[in-house]
Amino acid sequence: METPFAPASGVSFFSPMKSSAPFLSLAEGILGPGRWVFPLLFDRGPLLALNKPPGVAVSQDPLSAEAPNLLTALQGELEREKPQLRRLGIEGIHRINPMDAEISGALLLARDKESGDRYRNALGSSLFRFTYRFLSDGAAPEDEVSCDLPLARHRLQPRMLISHGTGRKTVTRFRRIGQWGRFALWEAGSSDCRPHQVRVHAVECGIPVLGDSLYGRRPVPALSDLRRRGGPGRGGDGAPDRPLYDWPCLHLARIDFPACEEEGTWTVEAPLPSRLATLLKHLRQSGRAR
């Protein structure tokens, strides 16, 4: 049984991935039902990067308490001396960039604690650059907007909120890069990496992330919604069509960060999950391009 979260389909934002591309896999039951596959995007020195599907928490966090936990699962596989991890030279696993459980994209990891601490410090010093892509049906007045509202955790609910008293400084810059009728493809860039940052700031800018039921509450369309205008689409049996994507349409597409023990910058690029790429294709083909 395969998971509903299909692995990504390329090595850059839209290009196909070679079938021989390396990956990590977790067998049935380790992260829940189904076998999970994580394409390996980057492997250099003490660092590696995976393409994380939506629905997986990176580590334990009250914001995603019910989601399966990737680092705990990988640590268990290390203790069981999983041969695949040995072949890749992975003897330890330490998170560098945090990620929302609900979104997909590039997850940067370190093989040892010292490297993990060093790169998390670099992230905290604004030496990283994160680039996201997302879909919205909001109506921003301009093609480029930004938000610098500080974010804090809600004391009672698993969500973030704007707080000028206890919030942490956070800046996100948005740029519209495609438009198809009321749907738009946006790029979000930041040197910060706060929980739910892009999702909250997108709402504040009037461009909520499609499919984000926690903040924007804008549903993802079904295929028939794109083929005929008007109300919700229905399948051949009269039942409502399934949305083309089951998660927030937000993807961490690229991370730029300082190279390890050398001058310059390293880059990790993560392709879209296959179902999100399919949704984007249908929007482009919907006949409503501007």
User: In this predicted model, what pLDDT tens digit does every residue of 9-23 receive, in sequence order?
Assistant: 332 333 333 445 688
pLDDT tens digits, 171-209: 999 999 999 989 999 999 999 999 999 999 999 999 999
pLDDT tens digits, 133-149: 999 998 888 999 999 99
Say what the pLDDT of residue 88 is.
Answer: 85
**Mean pLDDT computed over every residue of the chain:** 87
Q: Which residues contact 228 (CB under 8 A, 6 or more apart)?
A: none
Of the two residues 5 and 288, the one the predictor is more confident about is 288
- E strands, the chain, in order: 23-26, 36-44, 47-52, 94-95, 104-110, 129-136, 144-147, 151-153, 160-162, 172-180, 183-190, 250-258, 265-269
Domains of the chain: 23-284 (3.30.2350.10)
pLDDT tops 90 at residue 125: yes
pLDDT tops 90 at residue 91: no
pLDDT tops 90 at residue 225: no
CA pair distance 104, 117, nearest whole angstrom: 23
pLDDT band at 68, cuts 50/70/90? very high
Say what the pLDDT of residue 241 is.
Answer: 81
